[in-house]
Amino acid sequence: MNRRMDPHAGGFFVPAASFAGAPLDAIKGAAAVLMVGDHVDTILLDGHAVALWRLGRIAFPLFCVVSVLHILRGADPGRYGLALLALAVPTQAIYAAAFPFGTTEGSILFTLAAGIAFATALERGRPQLRHAALALGLAVVFLAPALAKTAVDFGLAGILLPAAILLALREPRAYGAWLVAAIVGLNWHGWHPRGEAASLSALADAATIGVGVPLVLLAALRLRGRLRFLPPYALQAFYPGHLAVLIALRALA
């Protein structure tokens, strides 16, 4: 195996192989539950359940962690990205029906596919290129919101996050600050609960992610060594399925 993709290489705090089986399924399950809460708030409750929305901020970073773990454990990045796109294309119509912004931006499946492609390309570059790319990207995120809002959910910050996670796991001291900046930028120009100042709300979101993601990972590691408990492709079926159910419930309300 190429050392770049060696699950035991670099500065990863726990070997990626430790998350194989049940731990990885636990992370996926936690992300799915948090995502549903967020979407219930958005689709059915008109954004009034702030707790559900804020906890939902943890979901996308967890999905990014899952994607990065797959790559660290040796999954082919090209095939993995194509698999995400193969699901994203037919799911987009459901996403567009679920959210008012769904007609102008792609779902997180497109974001993850772009993020994994960028992360694996950046990892092969020189350290100077990595830092320059992250610095430029994050400067756009914070200073040019019109450019940062790309045609995918979470925009440019969402595309940068998998790369920041991958590199920070390899070399925490070198890339940890970029990861923190990417997490803060993830919701910097997004929707914020009514009455909350945008910058303070984004910092609260980042703090929620900074606490929530490690807690989920530590809880998942308690299942280390156990076999997976989710059926293959369960999450792929669950993502469009839960949106379809919420659309139906909204129509019946």
DSSP 97-110: HH-GGGGTSB-HHH
Question: Where is 14: in which H helix or E strand?
Answer: none
SS3 content of the chain, % helix, strand, coil (to 5): 75, 0, 25
d(CA 7, CA 23): 15
% of the chain residues with pLDDT over 90: 83
Residue 66 has pLDDT above 80, yes or no: yes
**Could you report the per-residue pLDDT of 132-186, keeping only the tens digit for each?**
999 999 999 999 998 998 899 999 999 999 999 999 998 999 999 999 999 999 9
Q: Which two tokens stand for residue 243?
A: 């949106």
Question: Which H/E stretch holds residue 164?
Answer: helix 155-170
pLDDT, residue 5, reads 43
Q: Which residue has the tokens 């993850």?
A: 112
In the predicted model, what is the mean pLDDT of residues 7-36?
Answer: 82
Residue 170's CB is within 10 A of a number of other CB atoms, namely 16
- Residue 75, token pair as written in the block: 């999954």
H-helix or E-strand spanning residue 2 = none
Element (H, E) at 57: none
- Residue 102's pLDDT is what? 87
Q: 106 forms bridges with which residues in the sheet?
A: 152
Decide if 220 contacts 206 (C-beta within 8 A): no
Query: When comparing pLDDT for 62 and 103, which is higher?
Result: 62
pTM assigned to the model: 0.93
Q: Give the C-alpha separation, 214 to 29, whole Å.
A: 15
Q: Is 159 exposed, middle or buried (0-12, 13-18, 19+ CB in 10 A)?
A: buried
